[in-house]
Amino acid sequence: MTLECKHVWEHISEYLDRQLDPKLLMDIERHLENCEVCSAILDSTRNILVLTADERTYELPLGYSERLHARLEKVIREQEQSENGPA
């Protein structure tokens, strides 16, 4: 293994985002094939990101949308009134 683990760790994020240049990518993949430590770090990080993007991880408060649109509606009407001038 030419790459040290520490060096691989520095590129985990780019690896996951598929931003590595081909040469480094190849070296890292070769390292990953033979290194359980780095594979575990990669897997666990990937899992965490899957969880982060999962829509169920963060949920909107009940009624959030209704309250938002109700407040917007007020603002929109107020603006309409002010633009139309006093009746």
Partner 1 sequence: MYRKEKGALPTRMPATVEREKELIARIIAGETNLFHELIRPYERMVYLSILTMLRNDQEAEDAAQEVMISAFRHLKGFRGEAKFSTWLVTIAVNEARRRLRKAKTAQMESLDETKEDREGDFTPAVLTDWREIPSVVLEKKEMRQKLRDAVEQLPPIYREVLVLRDLEELNQQETASALGINVTLVKVRLHRARMMLQKMLAPYLRATAPARKGFFGRMFQ
Binding interface with partner 1 (CB under 8 A): 6, 9-10, 12-14, 16-17, 19, 36-37, 39-41, 43-58, 60-61, 64-65, 67-69, 71-73, 75-76, 79-80
- Which position has the token pair 């666990």? 44
- CA dist., res. 87 & res. 74, Å (int): 18
Q: How far is the CB of 27 from partner 1 (least distance, A)?
A: 18
- Contact flag: residue 40 with Zn ion (CB under 5 A): no
Q: Quick check: 35 binds Zn ion (CB under 5 A)? A: yes
* Amino acid, single-letter form, for residue 38: C
- Phi-psi domain of 21 (left: phi exceeds 0; alpha: psi -120 through 50; beta: other): beta
> Distance between CA 38 and CA 73 in Å, rounded?
53
The one of Zn ion, partner 1, none whose footprint includes residue 57, by CB under 5 to 8 A per kind, is partner 1
Query: In the complex with partner 1, which residue's Cβ is closer, 30 or 67?
Result: 67
